[in-house]
Amino acid sequence: MNAIPQYRKLYEILRKHILTGIYEEGSLLPSENELCTIHGITRPTVRQALDSLVKDGLILKKQGKGSIVRKPPQNIGILSIAGTASAIGVRYLRTDMLKKPELRGWPESFAFELTELEKESGCIYLERLRYVDNLPVFYDINHLPNINLPRFTSRSLENKSLFEELRKNYQIQILGGEQQLKAINPDSHVKKILKLKSEKPVLYIERKLITNKEGFNIYSTIYFNSEKHTISGIF
Amino acid sequence: MNAIPQYRKLYEILRKHILTGIYEEGSLLPSENELCTIHGITRPTVRQALDSLVKDGLILKKQGKGSIVRKPPQNIGILSIAGTASAIGVRYLRTDMLKKPELRGWPESFAFELTELEKESGCIYLERLRYVDNLPVFYDINHLPNINLPRFTSRSLENKSLFEELRKNYQIQILGGEQQLKAINPDSHVKKILKLKSEKPVLYIERKLITNKEGFNIYSTIYFNSEKHTISGIF
DNA sequence: GAGTGGTCTAGACCACGCA
DNA sequence: GCGTGGTCTAGACCACTCT
């Protein structure tokens, strides 16, 4: 069997076509049966691919009608699995690497429990600041276990999707995750980084991303300036 | 065909058993093949039910091992589809009806676009305050279109799940939805209701819930006190 | 009535975890 | 080696939408 399942391949194809505008907003995708014959697969497989697109909010299914293409979210779809850059569309996003990836020990207190393997391996630490429409919006602090990531600390990740890099170079995929959200008043450090003027609160998010490698999870702390943008999600 | 699909029935059964503790945390659910024979259905159908449980975060699947029962989330899983009361487990939650359901016009400005049918029908308005561990945590303002809801304004919804009532009495189910999150400083009204002392920010959420009735969506505005609790989600 | 998505059956082979 | 979940096939009937 191929490494990449059929439904995943179809998902990637359709996703790309929607994001690049080949299928316009409001138009209909080919019907499920058409997709079957086009790609030489059966309906349950097609449906599995479409389910993922629904979950991403890229299509809307109507019984008796078809799969309607939705406008890719204009605000930041951090709640979707694909990660920041691909969710918002790379064109909107600029990334500054505030702290380049470096080896470290794990912090003492952590929102999520670590596995033994993770604890023993130490972690790679990196900080980024992400801009939307040239405004600093996302400040994220990331902890990755130092497991089978040769030369990772020397890679340039400026303006690249961290997840894309992990997938391409290390065959690591994000399968899912969990997160916790709070509203907080930022400390002066965060305030400075996000260029917050007055007493504006920020969204504080702790995330754990589960990958296809057993015991390899990515932990992120995110400070989000929700003054001009919102975080959105579909469920 | 039955009104309630097989996979939905199995989902409800397993969900109930997990939440009531029949399956303990960390234990394994019966295997997919066992569930097939027990309930007289086939594997894709069983898997469809289990997919929903994974989405709710109630189980974790491991290839070669089985479906592991997870601890129901102790914090408020508002990001899951099932709604507040069922996500957190009814036992933790008390509800006060601040404003009983009443007929109204729609507000002029709204975070989501309304359908023509919704605009014409007017809306039912209600406000609730929900307690967790006897602390006011959730203040929600709800708008429902006034479509085929006889006697709804005279129903008592104290300490009941709004969604349960809609499902039982009007055959309305929540299929999914979208939401937007922000961190804001609450105004004095919200501050008073949530009994906030100092300058604590709150999570502000706009939600649109899509139902099985075409053109019938539920709109909620939520103020969430994230001082002692967090909002959590799985994706 | 024709076409769409929603649900379901009855099988199959594969990769993974564990004993 | 065996049972688990992951993927997939090749059909079927149903409810819904549109014409």
List CB contacts (< 8 A) between A232 and chain B.
178-181
- Cβ atoms of A215 and A61 closer than 8 Å: no
Q: Which of A80, A178, A202 sits opposite B232 (nearest CB)?
A: A178
Asked which of A81-85, A139-143, A158-162, B6-10 is least confident by mean pLDDT, the reply is A81-85
Can you tell me which residue has the tokens 């999707």?
A161
The CA distance from A179 to A124, in Å, is 20
Range of the domain at B170: 77-224
Show the CA angle centred on residue A111, arms to residues A123 and A168, nearest 5°.
Answer: 45
Residue B228 is predicted with a pLDDT of 84
Residue A197 is predicted with a pLDDT of 84
Mean pLDDT of chain B: 84
Q: What is the pLDDT of residues B137-165, one digit of tens each?
A: 889 999 999 887 888 888 777 767 788 78
Q: Considering the domain boundaries, does residue B137 fall inside one?
A: yes
Distances (CA, A) of A162 to A101, A108, A152, A184, B172: 11, 25, 11, 26, 42
Residue B174 is predicted with a pLDDT of 79
Tell me which of A47 and B234 has the higher pLDDT: A47
**Residue B180 parent element (H or E):** strand B174-184
Residue A3 is predicted with a pLDDT of 67
Q: Look at chain B and report how many structural domains it folds into.
A: 2
Q: Considering the domain boundaries, does residue A87 fall inside one?
A: yes
The answer, yes or no, to whether residue B190 has pLDDT greater than 90, is yes
Asked which of A49-53, A158-162, B110-114 is least confident by mean pLDDT, the reply is A158-162
User: Residue type for B38, please?
Assistant: I
Residue B74 is predicted with a pLDDT of 59
The answer, yes or no, to whether residue A153 has pLDDT greater than 80, is yes
Give the mean pLDDT of B5-33: 91
Q: Considering the domain boundaries, does residue A193 fall inside one?
A: yes
Q: Considering the domain boundaries, does residue B229 fall inside one?
A: no
Give the mean pLDDT of A112-139: 86
Domain co-membership, A104 together with A209: yes
Biggest distance spanned by C-alpha atoms of chain A = 58
Domain co-membership, B89 together with B199: yes
List all residues 6 or more positions away from B119 whose beta carbon is below 8 Å from its beta carbon: B106
Domain co-membership, B208 together with B124: yes
Q: What are phi and psi of B140, to 5 degrees?
A: -120, 140
| Residue of A181, A194, A212 to mutate, interface with B, max B Cβ within 10 Å | A181
Position A99 confidence tier, pLDDT thresholds 50, 70, 90: very high
Domain co-membership, B44 together with B128: no
Domain co-membership, A52 together with A133: no
Position A90 confidence tier, pLDDT thresholds 50, 70, 90: very low
Show the CA angle centred on residue A173, arms to residues A74 and A218, nearest 5°.
Answer: 85
User: Residue type for B203, please?
Assistant: L
Domain co-membership, A43 together with A130: no
Structure tokens at A131: 């801009």
The answer, yes or no, to whether residue B205 has pLDDT greater than 80, is yes
Domain co-membership, B59 together with B164: no
The CA distance from A148 to A105, in Å, is 16
Q: Considering the domain boundaries, does residue A171 fall inside one?
A: yes
List CB contacts (< 8 A) between A176 and chain B.
234-235
Q: What is the CATH number of the domain that holds A215?
A: 3.40.1410.10
Q: What is the pLDDT of residues A130-151, one digit of tens each?
A: 888 788 988 999 999 988 788 8
The answer, yes or no, to whether residue B38 has pLDDT greater than 80, is yes
User: Residue type for A209, please?
Assistant: L
Q: What is the pLDDT of residues B77-104, one digit of tens each?
A: 555 433 444 444 444 568 899 999 999 9
The answer, yes or no, to whether residue A156 has pLDDT greater than 80, is no
The last residue of a domain, from among A45, A69, A93: A69
List CB contacts (< 8 A) between B233 and chain A.
79, 178-179, 181, 233
Q: What is the pLDDT of residues A50-69, one digit of tens each?
A: 999 998 888 999 999 999 99
The CA distance from B25 to B30, in Å, is 14
Domain co-membership, A209 together with A97: yes
Structure tokens at A25: 């907003």
Domain co-membership, A109 together with A150: yes
Domain co-membership, B102 together with B184: yes
Percentage of chain B surpassing pLDDT 70? Answer: 89
Predicted model pTM: 0.88
Give the mean pLDDT of B15-22: 89
Domain co-membership, B167 together with B197: yes
Q: Considering the domain boundaries, does residue B233 fall inside one?
A: no
Q: How far is the CA of A61 from the C1' of D11 (A)?
A: 23
Domain co-membership, B54 together with B147: no
List all residues 6 or more positions away from B118 whose beta carbon is below 8 Å from its beta carbon: B106, B145, B147, B215, B216, B217
- Cβ atoms of A128 and A75 closer than 8 Å: no
Q: Mark yes or no for CB contact B231/A180 under 8 Å.
A: yes
Q: What is the CATH number of the domain that holds B34?
A: 1.10.10.10
Q: What is the DSSP letter of B76?
A: B
Residue A164 is predicted with a pLDDT of 75
Structure tokens at B201: 């920010």
Q: What is the pLDDT of residues A181-202, one digit of tens each?
A: 899 999 999 999 999 988 899 9
